[in-house]
Amino acid sequence: MTGVLQRGYYRGDASTDAYQGTVDVTGRFNTYGIEHNVLAGWEYYGSFGGVQSISVDASPINIFRPQYSRQNLELLPRNFFIDQTNEWNGLFFQDQITLLDKLHLMGGGRYDWATNAVGLAFGEDQSLADAKAAVNKVNNARFSPRAGIVYQPWEWLSFYGNYVQSLGSANTAFGINGNVLKPQIGEQFEGGFKTSLFDGRLNSNVAYYHLTRKNLAVSVPGQPFSVAVGEARSKGVEVDVSGQVTDGLNLILTYAYMDAEVLEGDNKGNRLWNVPKHSGSVWVRYRPKLMKSRLSLQFNAYNLADSTLFGGTLGDRNSINIGIPRMFVGSIHYAM
């Protein structure tokens, strides 16, 4: 092992204009004694921008005997240009009905159509105009159904389940060859139960879920490109418990177990990046009855064991994110 590490340098300046709009229409009516709660709407998102960047090979370094270069790579001329346009429209509709005051059914779906245009230009003699002239446009469209059920045998207990498909965000990424990646397709099943006890002072939620995503995009380290990992599956259990201990003290506990695995591609059989197998949190909130409840105190603690936590990577061996050490944060809020 020589210890020599090859390095690259990438830096970009981006400028983007983004527009977003949503229109929702809701209504309630009855047909033959069945109550309907209807939602319909339209969503739009558009972004238009470009990137002027530097992408060069940097000098290698020996990790055992590092010698740091004094070369200022930021002064190099721009040699990589990206022009990208992303427009997304979605129409959605759902109807929730209630039967026998205890059974709630929901059905609906949405139709998405998205356009992504990407143009690349390489070389110090190129510009954003050249990238715009080389635009490659891809149109994606898909109908995604959704359905759900809630059964509440008693006021304090509810069982629920849902199924949903989705057209995800991977169609905004592009590969090393400049081609837009195929859209990310998601499919999720979820089921569980909720409880509310002691007049709402103690609440809990237990859920099991199974999520599959195809064409999941992963960034290439140090570059603006992405690659698709094929298909990934996440399944697990989530538990949330919240309770009012006293009139001013509230406690929230959460725990999640997630089994995330890559099912296709070069990383088949490996865990999905940046996904912890076990995670949890504890929240305590105390509001003293002073000054007509205008004063609230909050105290947060992070990483109580003061362990070295590795938050995740970009899906490669070249980068890693290290979590924060033990930290305490307190705040005082007073409403005038």
Select from 194, 37, 226, 198 the least CA-distant residue to 118: 226
Distances (CA, A) of 322 to 138, 195, 280, 307: 37, 37, 18, 11
pLDDT at 73: 80
Select from 35, 11, 164 the least CA-distant residue to 98: 35
Which structural domain, as residue segments, surrounds residue 26? Answer: 4-278
Per the domain annotation, does 290 fall within a domain?
no
C-beta of residue 269 within 8 angstroms of C-beta of residue 249: no
Per the domain annotation, does 134 fall within a domain?
yes
291 SS3 class: helix
pLDDT at 171: 57
Residues in Cβ contact with 149 at an 8 Å cutoff, skipping those fewer than 6 apart: 103, 104, 105, 106, 160, 161, 162
User: What predicted TM-score, i.e. pTM, was given to this entire model?
Assistant: 0.74
Per the domain annotation, does 19 fall within a domain?
yes
For 290-300, give one letter per residue: b (16+ CB within 10 A) or e.
Answer: eeeeeebeeee
pLDDT at 144: 95
111, β-bridge pairs? 91, 143
Per the domain annotation, does 100 fall within a domain?
yes
What CATH number does residue 48 fall under?
2.40.170.20
pLDDT at 301: 82
Rg (CA), the chain: 26
Triad 267, 259, 253: Cα angle to 5°: 140
Residue listed under structure tokens 């909720």: 194
Per the domain annotation, does 289 fall within a domain?
no
Expressed in angstroms, the distance from the first to the final Cα of the chain is 65
Find how far residue 294's CA is from the centre of its chain.
35
Write out residues in the chain with pLDDT < 50, as ranges: none
Question: What are 58's two structure tokens?
Answer: 């940097």
Per the domain annotation, does 77 fall within a domain?
yes
Per the domain annotation, does 41 fall within a domain?
yes
Domain count, the chain: 1
Per the domain annotation, does 193 fall within a domain?
yes
